[in-house]
Chain A
Amino acid sequence: METDIPGFLLSVYQHLGVKYPKFYKMDNLAKLGWLATEVLLKDFDKAKYQPTDIGVVLTNAGSSLDADKRYYESVQDIASPALFVYTLPNIVIGEICIRHHFKGENAFYIFDGFNADFVNNYVSILLETGQLQACICGWVEMAATGYKAVLFLVEKDKKENAILFDAAGIEKRFIAVGFNQR
C-alpha cells in the first residue's frame, strides 16, 4: 500500500488550525516532529518556565536519511539550499524550539531502537542538575515508506496523577505502541 506521507502531514497541520507558513518549507521529518509537539503541548502551560528551562531530546534510527536521499537526487541539477538545511536530524529540534521559543539543552541521538535507559539517564541528569525544568523526549522517525513519532513531556516538579519517569515505565509504554522489546 502506498502511503501519502506529505498528504497526511498536511492534513494534520490543517486539522490543528495553526497558521505557521514555515511549516510548508520543512522536510517530512521536521514536519512530523513539529506536529507531534503541537499535539503534545496542546494543554502545556509553557509560560510558567523560562525559555532556557525547557529542553528537547529526541532519537531515531534513520537520522535525516529521508531528506538526505532527496538532497542527493536534487544535486544532479543545481542543489537546493532549502533542502540542504534539513540534511541533519537535529533540525527538527530547531523547528520545535523556534516555534515554542525553547532555549534549553537539546540533542538528537541515533539508536537502532528506542533506548529508554539512555533517555532516562540523560534527561534525569539534566533535570537533577537544574539545567532543565522540563524536557520533550521521544522518537521521531521518517522514511519514504513510513513514519513514527512518540513523544512525551517530563517535568521536574511532580504533578498529581503524573506518571513516574523511569526507564522501565518508558519502555513499557513504547512497547505498547509497537516498539520492539530489547
Chain B
Amino acid sequence: MDKLMADLKEQIIEQLNLQDVKPEDIGDDQPLFGDGLGLDSIDALELIVLLQQKYKVKLSNAEDGPKIFRSVRTIAEFIESNKIPNA
C-alpha cells in the first residue's frame, strides 16, 4: 500500500501538472479537494482518467467519487479493492 501511495502521488503531480508540488508535500490522508491540495472538478475528471489508464480501474458510480478521491490513501484503497488480478 505504501508503494502504491508513493506511485499515486507522483502520478497525480504529473497528470494534474502540479509543478510546484513535490510528492512529500502530499500527506497520505490530506484532503485533495477544497482546502487540502486545492484540486477542482476538472482535476477530478483527470483522476478518473488516471485510474482508468494507469491502474485499469473504472469508477462505475460517480456518486462514490467524493469518498474515493478524498485522499491518496482512499484512492489507493479503491485501487487495491478493485484491481483485476494479474492485471
Contact = CB atoms under 8 A, between A and B. Distances in A.
A contacts with B: majority SS: loop
B42 interface: yes
Interface string A97-115: 0000000000000000000
A25 B17 contact: yes
Nearest to A26: B17
A164 interface: no
Interface stretch (B28-36, B46-54, B60-68, B73-81): B46-54
A86 B27 CA distance: 30
B42 A82 contact: yes
B2 to A, nearest CB: 27
Interface band, chain A: 10 to 19
Interface band, chain B: 10 to 19
A25 B53 contact: no
Interface string A41-74: 0000000000000000000000000000000000
B20 A81 contact: no
Contacts of B21: 21
A85 B42 CA distance: 8
Given A81-B42, A82-B42, A82-B46, 14 more contacts: A21-B18, A21-B20, A21-B21, A21-B38, A24-B17, A24-B19, A24-B20, A25-B16, A25-B17, A77-B53, A78-B49, A80-B46, A81-B45, A81-B49
9 contacts: A25-B17, A78-B53, A80-B49, A81-B42, A81-B45, A81-B46, A82-B16, A82-B17, A82-B45
